[in-house]
Amino acid sequence: MPELPEVETIARALREGIPGGGPSLVGRTIQSVQVLWPREIANLAPAEFARRIAGACVRSVSRYGKYLLLGLDLPGDGPLSLLIHLRMSGRLDVVPRSAAFTPHARLVWLLDGDLALRFDDARKFGRVWLVGDPAEVIGSLGPDALSVTREQFVSRLRARRGALKPLLLDQTFVAGIGNIYADEALHLARLHPQRIAASLAEDEAARLYEAIRRVLLEGIAANGASFDWVYPGGNFQENFKVYGRTGRSCSACGTPIARIVIAQRSTHFCPTCQPLAI
DNA sequence: GGGCATGTTAGCAC
DNA sequence: TGTGCTAACATGCC
């Protein structure tokens, strides 16, 4: 499920709790961790990971790009951060311990209050890091897609020779955009996915910046998108204008939505609204 | 069974 | 150095 709006939705749920659902993670103490699929721990041996995190209290839950960041306090130790990337199929839930071990559970942190934080991940692509400084993991990323200023965005765009679609997917350019929101933003901005970044006129660059903000914020307002077996909960899929709509009519002009492959990813666009040549 | 999937990265070519 | 292609990671759904 995980692009910026979906990760933001999860971060909020973990931080604030879900009314009538999972409780907040903030203030909880991690008593121990069960490692069911060791490869999901990216930077430590499982035993070392378990030893270092035991006894830590969750101080904060935040997001940068598609990463979740848990700020931890460990009595008598320096600051510690747990970073989690859900990749393609990961999900996180605070559940009663009795519900902790599901078929796709890969990591389970046992908490006080008879609770557990469960990391389910059917495809096993997800990764977690336990570090002193989050920059060890996310330091090479570009600015967060919802924090970057228009001036920053436009100047970064000007410096790139490549096509727009791969650029939007490049997390070192801007962090948080994935395949769905890239296609939706390009359609809203009326820009062809293969336009060369540096070739955009001033108004085109501004349109792209505003379109990215708008689709991400609308995604968050809808609690993200969910449209297959991976993730229930969001509604933004009902607002898709191009993603997954190959052959169906463009909502703006009626032209059938086209699908091409760019950078090994499915790319959906309206050939009329998003012309390659002007 | 083949093709597809909301992500990232190493290796390689130009 | 920047850009982009392929394969790989691993599993499930249609």
Examine the residue annotation and report whether A265 is marked as an active-site residue of this protein: yes
Kindly determine whether the C-beta of residue A162 is less than 7 Å away from any atom of nucleic acid strand C: yes
- Split into its structural domains, chain A has a count of 2
Examine the residue annotation and report whether A241 is marked as an active-site residue of this protein: no
**Nearest DNA or RNA nucleotide to A162 (CA to C1'):** C3
Band of pLDDT at residue A78, cut at 50, 70 and 90: confident
Structure tokens at A159: 């410096």
Query: Are A178 and A253 part of one and the same domain?
Result: yes
Domain harbouring A55, CATH code = 3.20.190.10
Query: Are A53 and A96 part of one and the same domain?
Result: yes
Last residue of a domain, one of A117, A138, A159: A138
- Selected catalytic residue, list A2, A5, A23, A134: A2
**Nearest DNA or RNA nucleotide to A5 (CA to C1'):** B6
Tell me the pLDDT tens digit for each residue of A163-189: 999 999 999 999 999 999 999 999 999
What's the whole-number mean pLDDT along residues A139-156?
A: 97
Domain harbouring A157, CATH code = 1.10.8.50
Tell me the pLDDT tens digit for each residue of A3-51: 999 999 999 999 999 887 789 999 999 999 999 999 999 999 999 999 9
Query: Are A48 and A97 part of one and the same domain?
Result: yes
| pLDDT recorded at residue A77 | 81
Query: Are A215 and A102 part of one and the same domain?
Result: no
Examine the residue annotation and report whether A165 is marked as an active-site residue of this protein: no
Query: Are A243 and A203 part of one and the same domain?
Result: yes
| pLDDT recorded at residue A75 | 85
Query: Are A65 and A154 part of one and the same domain?
Result: no
Last residue of a domain, one of A76, A106, A138: A138
pTM over 0.85? The answer is: yes
Task: List chain B nucleotides near protein: any atom < 7 Å from a Cβ.
Answer: 4-9
Instruction: Give me the domain span that covers residue A164.
Output: 150-269
